A and B are shown apart, each in its own frame.
Chain A
Amino acid sequence: QQQVKQSPQSLIVQKGGISIINCAYENTAFDYFPWYQQFPGKGPALLIAIRPDVSEKKEGRFTISFNKSAKQFSLHIMDSQPGDSATYFCAASIWGNTPLVFGKGTRLSVIA
């Protein structure tokens, strides 16, 4: 069974636009929600992460919004740039207790 559902599978955004990727989780014990970014031929790398004590976290152009009651979290990329074109993975775990469970990934293409 898939514990973290991610959508959309692929996304095309104009340069300067907002990219939004959504994830939903099932396990209410999850308390750590990171997003990873993967460029072709590279391993995933941590982009930004959130714990459920806050509803939003912002780092530069990247923002995580977290809705605990709905068991959903999303990544917003403001002013999207061609260099943001990559595959993005949401993930979840019980902090320090279970390994990360990843969503199936979203391939983002930012076109000029």
Chain B
Amino acid sequence: DTAVSQTPKYLVTQMGNDKSIKCEQNLGHDTMYWYKQDSKKFLKIMFSYNNKELIINETVPNRFSPKSPDKAHLNLHINSLELGDSAVYFCASSQVRAGGRKSSNTGELFFGEGSRLTVL
């Protein structure tokens, strides 16, 4: 059973298009994240949701809109794709809430396998 699953794994599209990446976790975690990994492997947080509530929104263009229909799902929609959006996008989940404290947890982030987005 995959703990954090993302679809699609690969996405190739033209500039200006709109695309979505879906993420689901079956770990029962309350907190989910989107990270962006650029061509140099740098991992940067984009968003964090806790129990469907947006708690972290880093400096990300508003063309990126996360949506969490329930605490097990966090989707990422990107409008008007640009060349610079090409990257690998990772979904992750954890039991630790960023913004509050929980006991009896390790703080471990569980990542999906990533969705490689290529904008032509």
Contacts and interface: CB of A to CB of B under 8 A. Distances in A.
Interface of A: 32, 34, 36, 38, 41-46, 49, 87, 89, 93, 95-102, 104-105, 107
Contacts of B33: 99
B106 interface: yes
Nearest to A89: B43
A58 to B, nearest CB: 17
A36 B48 CA distance: 19
A99 B106 contact: no
Given A89-B43, A99-B56, A105-B43, A43 B107 contact: no
A44 B94 CA distance: 13
A44 B56 contact: no
Interface in B21-78: 33, 40-45, 48, 56
A98 B41 contact: no
B117 interface: no
Interface residues of B, number: 27
Which among A32, A93, A99, A104 has the greatest number of chain B C-beta atoms within 10 A?
A99
A12 B43 CA distance: 22
Nearest to A2: B42
7 closest Cβ contacts across the A-B interface?
Answer: A43-B111, A96-B101, A102-B43, A105-B41, A99-B98, A46-B108, A99-B45
A96 B44 CA distance: 18
Interface in B1-17: 4
A97 B98 contact: yes
Contact of A49 (B45, B97, B100, B107): B107
Given A41-B113, A44-B111, A45-B111, A95 B101 contact: yes
A64 B15 CA distance: 44
B81 interface: no
Choose among A93, A95, A100 the residue with the greatest number of B CB atoms under 10 Å from its CB.
A100
